[in-house]
Structure 1
């Protein structure tokens, strides 16, 4: 088992400055960069700054195993590269801008060389250490758009090489046509010994066309020899006497080999989406010549402490909970990538963020927490998405390598914009444009031929709502379209988002239309379909009526009626119409029993843990908290805490599923805080906090202070709310709003105990799409 080692001794800068005061506590000591790197979590353990373009880490090959973030616990090093995603599944992306240290005579540099791992990797925030099977120590550090390698070659070795192979990408072995491609590149060694390189790549999970990344690299010592090469997969590498190699072919690789007599060599590399000049400028701005390796490491630690980790402070001393808290904060702030000033697609004065992976994963928990903890980044992110619509025609549901795609369900940027709007986010956001972008999603089907998706050829997965023609014609989605049932759940929620913004802008006709459309999930509700004693489920349907499935076993993938969750899971999805759902499931008592059944061992023998509830994927994030809608807040506390404590831990397999750019971590953070956000509304459902004291820095000298008495301080026992005060006043409802505690700061004072009590006697949480009489 690998663990973290404590070895080391551009528009969002406004937010950074706001939090840049020196911290008395080094919160990075509590971050385990290897948490969730195995067991399907796919966390990125390398080095990066908050939202940085550079994510510098190892790429490992192990026969037939996809390395989504570059890292594997076993296998051979194929390179140490500057670009990675964080915690994603589907298929690998990036693994570009490489270096690889090698010892000895290298006769064929561009032959996809790998080298075994010599010892377990080690790392902490801002620092990564690996050892190759040739006994080369590789240490990594990173700024936002540049990174630094430090190599220690074996004593006595005189043939110390650093290979730069521009054909390097993270491969995929899944056989689904999602493997990344190399389409050519350039490599030039200049008289002063530095190199400038570029590579053209394509495909990956979002099926993007060709994109180019530029890099600029310097070494701190002069190489004995430095040669540019061309090569092919079927032949050897050929040295280029000019010191420059180029190719516009996927069959011809380019790169360089630098050989040193020194045993300690460092390298500085900058990257850019724009040009070689910009890559060199980024490097010299962030890691100028003469910068000590330790300075870069400490700069990264300070950035994480001041900008991210210090946003939540607690008095707990429990080591496990501190590690869970600050590791979760760390991993949720690696993406999206702030590429402001690095947009190759168009010129704009707006911020630019990419590597949105994906809003289908993030809209339920992550974007709401990003708003609370990083309000400046959040506003910039919203502005960036609207700007993408201005120049490319649609809001992104996902985006990587400056290209939208893939859309798994609905146009979930609509949910994110609606959430920002109803919570009063204004700043420099043009909400007329924001609403126009949402209307485009809701009214104009995307082009199905750009690009065709062989895994879902019925409709575009690039952006927008591919099944919109059925939604507009029928108010439901027929099996003509893949993922028809789960898309219907999403589309209804998306339309509710349009209702919220239309209402806020005074567009009453639109508001009425989209509110009615947000109820169209009901057209997929078969009240007669029964599963283990319960009736009523979301099902696929056509113009003739319902098409029944087995709700326990109908979870599927791209070509199926339900995407990555079952009908049991998706039937809870449209939380904006929960009043209807409670009644259609048989009333509060049956609703309670049905929720309990989600967590009952033995209810689903087909699952490894025997329960229906699926902790591995986002569609069920809200399920443990839905008891609040029938005034059984105690059950929300019990079930959500069981999920948190059972499926999350500090080990390398400490996540229940893919991190998905921090989605899993934000669910856990909300559980620690004691609230759950209802995206698209100002509502937060109350459960109970883990700690005796938790202070959230909201920016602008605002804070939310959450305290509890009567608990054990770790969230393990005495978890039930006995009473609550909000801003010093007794609180009698099991929910609150953004304005209550976040807009201006506030306090929440919990009294906890070992047994449930009915402390909440006020109104139930809102169900705004439910008619007065259902």
Structure 2
């Protein structure tokens, strides 16, 4: 029943300021069925993500939004596409009608009609017949309320105790720990709230806010009261303060006019900064429509116009630009808003999480937003300088939770091997990586879901990794963490080699092969032998590789042995050899897409398109020269995406799903930590990517259907106008200085790629023969 407010396609024409690509963005895509996309208003990487918070039958609303339920507020801070547990839902307003006698009693109000939204604009209507319209900038938001004309009293509640709750029973529910609310002499309010916990288990953090209404209220009061809203007392001073989670703080403004607007700024630093933020970004004379229009312009000029196509297929255009939109909501650029330390370096938070993002998202961010990407790398190194470790995840200025390895290592290595320099101090960057690889993080606050080692940062299972070259069941997620740690060590090898640290390079290259110590050649599953499994000091611990998927306390995290056994792409030639050679490697890949792991789900398959550990699997055929199957299997998965409310196959994970889809549309797959990109097949007849350095990559194709639906097998390829016979290329070939790729596509399976296979740099050199490229 959701309704997306889009510009009519007929209006999608070249205007004085350029093409309006925002008309192709459906902000409600992936907001249901576990996608957790945030449909509210935001600018790229902005601190403010203003949208509704809804309560629905004790169901977690991770981004605040739910398609059914009651409004508990409209808050300034959210995260995009996250799971685990909700975060933020802070700095909230809620419009109410009538005489409000108990404002701090967790009031909710129903939804009257389906919400509407487009880029930069959001609209809701409550069952009290109040219309709420939202717009935002990077550090401020604008509320526009239209109350019923017949209402005797129109109110706006500001409740400092408001957060997004969690009902999953995992101990990750956010807490309120106090705050203050002050009504100033000119009628504006200044407030702060103290909060804690959420998916990253952070300790207390404070956010400041400053709000102005456009008209003078008939009454304005600050409130203080016991938890659950009982025995509220109006403070005659117009100010209320609490340092207790049991004492709620807030304010209530009452108006006798039907149209009211509110401008609110936020800051991690102070109320003064919060006021400055909205005065700078939404000055008093700003109209609501101007804020909306400016946001659209920013999305068009800075983000959506980075990729252009001549396609007229509306479905694919909506997929393209909607995916671009959602991948640019996180991380949050908090430069100048870091309460933890003083530094001239950029500062980015809300990294959720590099376990999800390192395979596809950070590589595409590098391509599309080179300035932001460099700042992002510098920020992570600065976090190490002052907090002690690189973040694998971070929110509310606090590292955590680390699901697997120290995957910031992979992100830094990817930037390094692709020549990212700018103002990055790579000696510091490498030192931060070495800290992850050599120093076990303290477990000062054990995670109830995995108390054996720190989940805050670093590599909690490092003692076993250093002592034995594998991880015993002393540590949770032992098998899956071994896969991650091997990948992380390969990343250290790449940077050490580039910096001329030869001894370190040799050490970390050897350590990157330690996944092999978890490989049980004898374990069989549905006719195949050899799997990554747990082990102790004397023997392997056998599980059923089809069904051994787990969670925080288990040997595998969110995927099975069948899935994790493909994980160490830097050593793929060794993996193919140990699986039994190219024929068995091929057959085993095919089995991923034909056999189900769950006997109760006969239509299911082992490959899980909803989760990141198998993002690379559809493309691994390239390593045995069967790129035609990479095209087929990946396209089959990609075509399950759509722009409906259930259009994502799984949780967005801060845009990870969207970036996997975008790479499929482009026709490449990035191998993080290397300069390698695996070639499959593009969707469009023409696609131009602005590389942010004045260069472009132009990808064209002939012979296909122009929509990526049929006739998508590669017949031949020219790269930079030269015949290309490898099913892979490097960063230097088409991204460093721009380039062209021209595909001839068709329905026939053609062995066009007769050149060398993709590199497997951790595999020992083969001296007697090359791995066969024939199936």
TM-score normalized with structure 2 length? 0.97
RMSD of aligned residue pairs (Cα, Å): 1.2
Secondary structure (helix, strand or coil) at the match of 2:492 reads helix
Of residues 700, 704, 726, the one that matches 1:707 is 700
Q: CA–CA distance in 2 between the matches of 1:741 and 1:609?
A: 40
1:765 equivalent to 2:725? Answer: no
Q: CA–CA distance in 1 between the matches of 2:600 and 2:395?
A: 35
Give the equivalent residue in structure 2 for 1:551.
545
The superposition leaves residues 195-236 of structure 1 with CA deviations (integer Å, 9 ceiling, x where unpaired) of 000000000000000000000000000000000001122523
The superposition leaves residues 378-437 of structure 1 with CA deviations (integer Å, 9 ceiling, x where unpaired) of 000000000000001000000000000000000000000000000000000000000000
Give the equivalent residue in structure 1 for 2:50.
56
Structure 2 residue runs without a partner (length 5+):
10-14, 768-775
Q: CA–CA distance in 2 between the matches of 1:313 and 1:771?
A: 42
Q: Is the 8 A contact 2:97 2:151 kept in 1?
A: yes
Q: Is the 8 A contact 2:335 2:346 kept in 1?
A: yes
Give the equivalent residue in structure 1 for 2:591.
597
1:140 equivalent to 2:134? Answer: yes
Of residues 661, 664, 674, the one that matches 1:671 is 664
Q: CA–CA distance in 1 between the matches of 2:241 and 2:208?
A: 13
When structure 1 is superposed on structure 2, of 125-134 and 155-164 the one drifting more is: 155-164
Query: 1:8-87, aligned counterparts within 5 Å?
Result: 23-87=17-81
The superposition leaves residues 577-629 of structure 1 with CA deviations (integer Å, 9 ceiling, x where unpaired) of 00000000000000000000000155653547421100110000000000000
Q: CA–CA distance in 2 between the matches of 1:636 and 1:358?
A: 27
Of residues 612, 617, 622, the one that matches 1:618 is 612
Secondary structure (helix, strand or coil) at the match of 1:198 reads strand
Q: How many residues were matched structurally? A: 761
Query: 1:444-483, aligned counterparts within 5 Å?
Result: 444-449=439-444, 451-483=445-477
Structure 1's 578 and 258: CA in aligned 2 closer, same or farther, altered over 3 A? Answer: same
The superposition leaves residues 147-171 of structure 1 with CA deviations (integer Å, 9 ceiling, x where unpaired) of 0000000112130000000000000
Give the equivalent residue in structure 1 for 2:294.
299
Give the equivalent residue in structure 1 for 2:264.
269
TM-score normalized with structure 1 length? 0.97
Structure 1's 607 and 380: CA in aligned 2 closer, same or farther, altered over 3 A? Answer: farther
Secondary structure (helix, strand or coil) at the match of 1:84 reads coil
Of residues 627, 631, 652, the one that matches 1:659 is 652
1:752 equivalent to 2:745? Answer: yes
1:650 equivalent to 2:651? Answer: no
Q: CA deviation at 1:90?
A: 0.3
Secondary structure (helix, strand or coil) at the match of 2:661 reads helix
1:200 equivalent to 2:186? Answer: no
Structure 1's 551 and 607: CA in aligned 2 closer, same or farther, altered over 3 A? Answer: farther
Give the equivalent residue in structure 1 for 2:108.
114
Q: CA–CA distance in 1 between the matches of 2:3 and 2:138?
A: 25
1:257 equivalent to 2:252? Answer: yes
The superposition leaves residues 232-278 of structure 1 with CA deviations (integer Å, 9 ceiling, x where unpaired) of 22523211000000000000000000000010000000000000000
1:737 equivalent to 2:726? Answer: no
The superposition leaves residues 66-112 of structure 1 with CA deviations (integer Å, 9 ceiling, x where unpaired) of 00000000000000000000000000000000000000000000000
Q: CA–CA distance in 2 between the matches of 1:202 and 1:22?
A: 47
Secondary structure (helix, strand or coil) at the match of 2:4 reads coil
Give the equivalent residue in structure 1 for 2:771.
none
Q: Is the 8 A contact 1:111 1:237 kept in 2?
A: no
Give the equivalent residue in structure 2 for 1:18.
none
1:131 equivalent to 2:125? Answer: yes
Give the equivalent residue in structure 1 for 2:3.
3
Q: CA–CA distance in 2 between the matches of 1:585 and 1:472?
A: 27
Secondary structure (helix, strand or coil) at the match of 1:254 reads strand
Q: CA deviation at 1:6?
A: 3.0
Query: 1:229-268, aligned counterparts within 5 Å?
Result: 229-234=223-228, 235-268=230-263
Of residues 505, 517, 533, the one that matches 1:539 is 533
Q: Is the 8 A contact 1:8 1:127 kept in 2?
A: no
Q: CA–CA distance in 2 between the matches of 1:609 and 1:741?
A: 40
Q: Is the 8 A contact 1:396 1:404 kept in 2?
A: yes
Of residues 323, 342, 355, the one that matches 2:350 is 355
Q: Is the 8 A contact 1:99 1:162 kept in 2?
A: yes
Give the equivalent residue in structure 2 for 1:437.
432
Give the equivalent residue in structure 2 for 1:526.
520
1:317 equivalent to 2:312? Answer: yes
Give the equivalent residue in structure 1 for 2:713.
720
1:562 equivalent to 2:566? Answer: no
Q: CA–CA distance in 1 between the matches of 2:43 and 2:603?
A: 37
1:631 equivalent to 2:631? Answer: no
Q: CA deviation at 1:64?
A: 1.5
Q: CA–CA distance in 2 between the matches of 1:104 and 1:232?
A: 23
Q: CA–CA distance in 1 between the matches of 2:612 and 2:644?
A: 21
Q: CA–CA distance in 1 between the matches of 2:17 and 2:271?
A: 37
Secondary structure (helix, strand or coil) at the match of 1:767 reads coil
Q: CA deviation at 1:468?
A: 0.2
When structure 1 is superposed on structure 2, of 23-32 and 107-116 the one drifting more is: 23-32
Q: CA–CA distance in 1 between the matches of 2:31 and 2:488?
A: 33
Structure 1's 246 and 8: CA in aligned 2 closer, same or farther, altered over 3 A? Answer: farther
1:308 equivalent to 2:306? Answer: no
Give the equivalent residue in structure 2 for 1:12.
none
Q: Is the 8 A contact 2:6 2:25 kept in 1?
A: no
The superposition leaves residues 413-463 of structure 1 with CA deviations (integer Å, 9 ceiling, x where unpaired) of 0000000000000000000000000000000000011x2200000000000
Give the equivalent residue in structure 2 for 1:330.
325
Q: CA deviation at 1:24?
A: 2.0
Q: CA–CA distance in 2 between the matches of 1:721 and 1:773?
A: 29
1:502 equivalent to 2:500? Answer: no
Secondary structure (helix, strand or coil) at the match of 2:112 reads strand
Secondary structure (helix, strand or coil) at the match of 1:706 reads strand
Structure 1's 279 and 22: CA in aligned 2 closer, same or farther, altered over 3 A? Answer: farther
Structure 1: 4+ residue segments shifted above 4 A: 601-604
Q: Is the 8 A contact 1:226 1:259 kept in 2?
A: yes
Give the equivalent residue in structure 1 for 2:770.
none
Q: Is the 8 A contact 2:160 2:179 kept in 1?
A: yes
Q: Is the 8 A contact 2:309 2:686 kept in 1?
A: yes
1:381 equivalent to 2:368? Answer: no
Secondary structure (helix, strand or coil) at the match of 2:280 reads helix
Q: CA–CA distance in 2 between the matches of 1:550 and 1:429?
A: 45
Q: Is the 8 A contact 1:22 1:306 kept in 2?
A: no
Secondary structure (helix, strand or coil) at the match of 1:499 reads helix
Of residues 174, 177, 190, the one that matches 1:183 is 177
1:578 equivalent to 2:599? Answer: no
Q: Is the 8 A contact 2:681 2:713 kept in 1?
A: yes
